[in-house]
Chain A
Amino acid sequence: MTIVSLLALVLVPLCSGCWSRREIQDLAFVTALGVDKGPEDGTLKLTVHIAKPFAVAGGEGKKEPEKPFLVATSIGSTSIEATRNFVKKTPVRLDWTHNRFVLFGESFAREGIIDTLSIVGRDTQMRRSTLVIVAHNSTAEELLQAEFELERIPASGAEAILTASQQRLATSVVCTVNDFMQALQAEGIEPLGTRAQAVPLAPAGEKPGETNIEGELTREEVALTAEIAGIAVFKGDKLVGFMEDRETRGYNWIGGQVRNTIMSLDLPQLDKTAGVEVIRAKSSIIPQIESGNIEFKVRIDVQAIMQEVTWLPGSLADEEAIAMIEQRASALIKEEAESALAKAQNLNADVFGFGREIYRRHPREWAGIKEQWEELFPFLNVQFEVTTKLRSPGMTRF
């Protein structure tokens, strides 16, 4: 027993994990990671947002509000080497556990992102729930200069915008590394990412009122902000193009991912534009294979409520008006879905997973056509059947 106690005495200090110990004051939390091509061939450049906890907390009596984050860059010939090269510049160790984004510059993404993504899969600190974003028309570094007026930490702001634009406007998609890797490896589907664009704000001039009371009213200058909307379409791991807002909503209609959105409908009979809010939408993609001929039927069912439309009492019967709005809404949805499909077919990237749908429902037929799917997809015939139901007129009937 003495031996056991002695052994325990020796072992217990080892249990505290000396080797891999980290103290919180020695860590710098990365909130976003951007990847670009480096200055020389074969190198890449990483840009990170590092949270500054002392600035987030804010000190008392501070006159100038400090930016709560630091933007740092580093260069290396592999992403992991570049992340390690931050050691040269940051006095504290980078911690990746709270990283929410991996952002790719457009020119970098066009050459393939899988090697960089693989560190997200392999590393023990990064997560597969990290979001994949592609900067449209800019580098990731530029985009990471963006800030949001109403949220001090850009990563939190970007995440809030992304979630909202997906859930309340349907002009965006939430795409995690996990989704990306699955789409990359699965049959009959191509991966995608979220598109983001840098939006420069008007250069700040002399603003009256800024220096009225010293310190108290100084406001942070935001020179650049970001708009997160649209889809970055990949083929394999290489970026091939982007979908705009309307096409993105079309993509979401086809996938049944629209939760809520606003549609503006032209009503020529009333000579006005009506606004309806979609409150529920679902879709089903049905492959139809007959004697080697592949066709798809996509059924989209939408429920909406009226928000912004009037007509004079007596000028139009309720039923007529509702039928007209429903018909216009269905036509618009169909139009958007078709534009999304046309864009994907143009890029020859099956981001919708039509091929996967064949594989899931008719695995035997898929085995026969999967080699030719690339030639088949651009000419795929898809029938859209859209039904819109207006559920409620809102608080007034006219």
Chain B
Amino acid sequence: MSMPSEKVNGAQLISLIHMIRIVPVTIVFPTLLAVQMVQDLWIATLAGAVLALLIIIPLVFLGLKFPEQTVIQYSETILGNLPGKVVGLILVIYWLKIAADVIYAIGDAFTLAVMPETPIWVFTTIIAFMGAYTARHGLEVIGRISFNFMAIVVLVGIMVIVLPFEAAKVKNLLPVLENGLEPLIKPVLVNLSFWAQLVVIGMLLPHLNRIRDSVRFSGYALLITGTLIVLFSITLTVVFGVTAKDLSLPAYSLVRMIRVARFLERIEIIILISWTLAAAAKLALMLWAGSLGLVQIFGSSNYSALVYPLGIVCIIAAHLLHDNHMEYMSTLVQSAPFIVVTVAALIIILAFGWLVRRGSDSTGGI
């Protein structure tokens, strides 16, 4: 198989990982729904970010072992033809499902918060078109826009975290873990189910211009994104206390609480910008990964013709899978354990398969 020609650099890798994780946090934040006590939220997100290492480390390790192959390709190398294709297909379906979720999240958020009378398909179609249009231009373009968008998204994130200080009551963080660690299991699983989306970096690593950097840059991405999410959880808790769990769009509600010196207020537009940009970048990446993965399963590499059809499939899937906000949220929360287990199983199979193959290779060599 030929060496991939599209290249992204380390900073772009950071931004792509950031976009993947930040989208569900800034829009609906499903982890919030899973916590028993809001005070536990920041602990759950912190634990999730740390446990995400268990997903990233084996992926990066496998990526280093197969520096010229995507996860779709090396799963065939490791597991053999048919099982490899099955694993590849599961991953592709997973990425397209993520794309459909992102599309629905944007449509849902816009109709819920800003333009309730506008039909939801207006937003889902526009965001899907933006994502597919970007995806068709290839990974380099996705990398560049997501790097540029990240500056805005992080800036908005910091504003959202810092500016509602007037309404913050730090004591809302007490008591810490009143019922022990057991109530944390569910929120940590939900949180991890979103970190699990990072398996898509299996598609990115062969395109990294210096593959050795992948360890370092994935670590940075995890650090930046994890810190933002934990700080965001803390701000949510101190501003909204027990009522945080009631919020449909926590970040949006948080921005609406900003009122600095009777002067800086009504700036919810910034979170809309952040949503749209981050979702478009993430969607582009998922559609790119989905189409490239699909053609690679069938042994080709020209994916661009598939991007728009898959985009349309994702819009339809978004509308078929989800009906309304409540149902969407409970699906995200309830499917979390299944997703975590599936992704973990795939990674374990690949890592174990690689170990077995290396063992047989070396014995064969002797």
Could you tell me which A residues sit within 8 Å of B by CB distance?
4, 7, 11, 14-15, 17-20, 97, 121, 124, 127-129, 176, 178, 181-182, 185-186, 359-361, 363-364
Measured between beta carbons, the chain A residues less than 8 angstroms from B243 are 178, 181-182, 185
A97 to B242, CA, bound (A): 25
Q: Nearest Cβ in chain B — how far from A17, in angstroms? A: 6
A361 to B171, CA, bound (A): 10
Measured between beta carbons, the chain A residues less than 8 angstroms from B115 are 17, 19-20
Measured between beta carbons, the chain B residues less than 8 angstroms from A186 are 241-242
Partner of A20 from B114, B246, B266 at Cβ < 8 Å: B114
Tell me if A's interface is mostly helix, strand, loop or mixed: helix
Chain B: which residue is nearest A180 at the CB level?
B243
A7 to B197, CA, bound (A): 31
Cβ-defined contact, A178 with B175, below 8 A:
no
Tell me whether B80 is interfacial, beta carbon within 8 Å.
no
Cβ-defined contact, A7 with B129, below 8 A:
yes
Known: A7-B129, A19-B119, A124-B114. A129 touches B240 (CB 8 A): no
Among A15, A18, A20, which residue has the most Cβ atoms of chain B within 10 A?
A20
A97 to B256, CA, bound (A): 10
Tell me whether B359 is interfacial, beta carbon within 8 Å.
no
Q: Count of A-B contacts with CB under 8 A?
A: 63
Measured between beta carbons, the chain B residues less than 8 angstroms from A129 are 167, 256-257, 259
Cβ-defined contact, B239 with A178, below 8 A:
yes
Cβ-defined contact, B246 with A121, below 8 A:
yes
A354 to B113, CA, bound (A): 37
Chain A: which residue is nearest B133 at the CB level?
A4
Q: Nearest Cβ in chain B — how far from A246, in angstroms? A: 25
Known: A178-B239, A360-B175, A361-B175. A11 touches B117 (CB 8 A): no
Cβ-defined contact, A178 with B167, below 8 A:
yes
Q: Nearest Cβ in chain A — how far from B329, in angstroms? A: 16
Q: Nearest Cβ in chain B — how far from A8, in angstroms? A: 8
Residue-wise, chain B 242-268 has the 8 Å CB interface mask toward A (1 for contact) of 110010000001001101000000100
Partner of B242 from A18, A176, A185, A364 at Cβ < 8 Å: A185
Q: Nearest Cβ in chain A — how far from B283, in angstroms? A: 16
Partner of B126 from A15, A97, A182, A360 at Cβ < 8 Å: A15
Cβ-defined contact, B119 with A11, below 8 A:
no
Contact-size category for B: 20 to 34
A296 to B174, CA, bound (A): 18
- A-B residue pairs, 6 tightest by C-beta: A20-B115, A363-B178, A360-B174, A19-B118, A182-B241, A363-B175
A14 to B246, CA, bound (A): 32
Cβ-defined contact, B117 with A14, below 8 A:
no
Chain A: which residue is nearest B253 at the CB level?
A128
Cβ-defined contact, B175 with A182, below 8 A:
no
Partner of B256 from A14, A127, A181, A185 at Cβ < 8 Å: A127
Measured between beta carbons, the chain A residues less than 8 angstroms from B172 are 182
Chain A: which residue is nearest B125 at the CB level?
A11
A18 to B115, CA, bound (A): 10
Could you tell me which B residues sit within 8 Å of A by CB distance?
112-119, 122, 125-126, 129, 133, 167, 171-172, 174-175, 178, 239-243, 246, 253, 256-257, 259, 266
Tell me if B's interface is mostly helix, strand, loop or mixed: helix
A364 to B117, CA, bound (A): 48
A17 to B272, CA, bound (A): 14
Measured between beta carbons, the chain B residues less than 8 angstroms from A124 are 112-114, 116
Cβ-defined contact, B116 with A20, below 8 A:
yes
Chain B: which residue is nearest A124 at the CB level?
B113
Q: What 16 additional pairs, Cβ within 8 angstroms, besides A18-B118, A20-B114?
A: A11-B126, A11-B129, A14-B126, A19-B115, A20-B117, A124-B114, A127-B256, A128-B253, A128-B257, A176-B167, A178-B257, A181-B243, A181-B246, A182-B242, A186-B242, A361-B174
- Enumerate 21 A-B pairs (CB-CB under 8 Å) in ascending A order: A11-B129, A14-B122, A14-B126, A15-B126, A19-B119, A20-B114, A97-B266, A124-B112, A124-B113, A124-B116, A128-B256, A129-B257, A129-B259, A176-B167, A181-B243, A182-B241, A182-B242, A182-B243, A185-B242, A186-B241, A186-B242
Q: Nearest Cβ in chain A — how far from B60, in angstroms? A: 36
Q: Nearest Cβ in chain B — how far from A129, in angstroms? A: 6
A129 to B240, CA, bound (A): 11
Chain B: which residue is nearest A17 at the CB level?
B115
A17 to B116, CA, bound (A): 11
Cβ-defined contact, B126 with A20, below 8 A:
no
A134 to B130, CA, bound (A): 49
A370 to B266, CA, bound (A): 39
Cβ-defined contact, A182 with B114, below 8 A:
no
Chain B: which residue is nearest A122 at the CB level?
B248
Chain A: which residue is nearest B164 at the CB level?
A129
Chain B: which residue is nearest A7 at the CB level?
B129
Measured between beta carbons, the chain A residues less than 8 angstroms from B116 are 20, 124
Known: A127-B256, A128-B256. A19 touches B126 (CB 8 A): no
A273 to B197, CA, bound (A): 71
Measured between beta carbons, the chain A residues less than 8 angstroms from B239 are 178
Known: A11-B125, A129-B257, A360-B174. A20 touches B167 (CB 8 A): no
Chain A: which residue is nearest B177 at the CB level?
A363
Measured between beta carbons, the chain B residues less than 8 angstroms from A128 are 253, 256-257
Measured between beta carbons, the chain B residues less than 8 angstroms from A97 are 266
Chain B: which residue is nearest A364 at the CB level?
B178
Measured between beta carbons, the chain A residues less than 8 angstroms from B114 are 20, 124
Chain B: which residue is nearest A356 at the CB level?
B171
Chain B: which residue is nearest A20 at the CB level?
B115
Measured between beta carbons, the chain A residues less than 8 angstroms from B118 are 17-20
A15 to B276, CA, bound (A): 13
Measured between beta carbons, the chain A residues less than 8 angstroms from B119 are 19
Chain B: which residue is nearest A362 at the CB level?
B175
A181 to B243, CA, bound (A): 7
Chain B: which residue is nearest A187 at the CB level?
B242
Cβ-defined contact, A178 with B174, below 8 A:
no
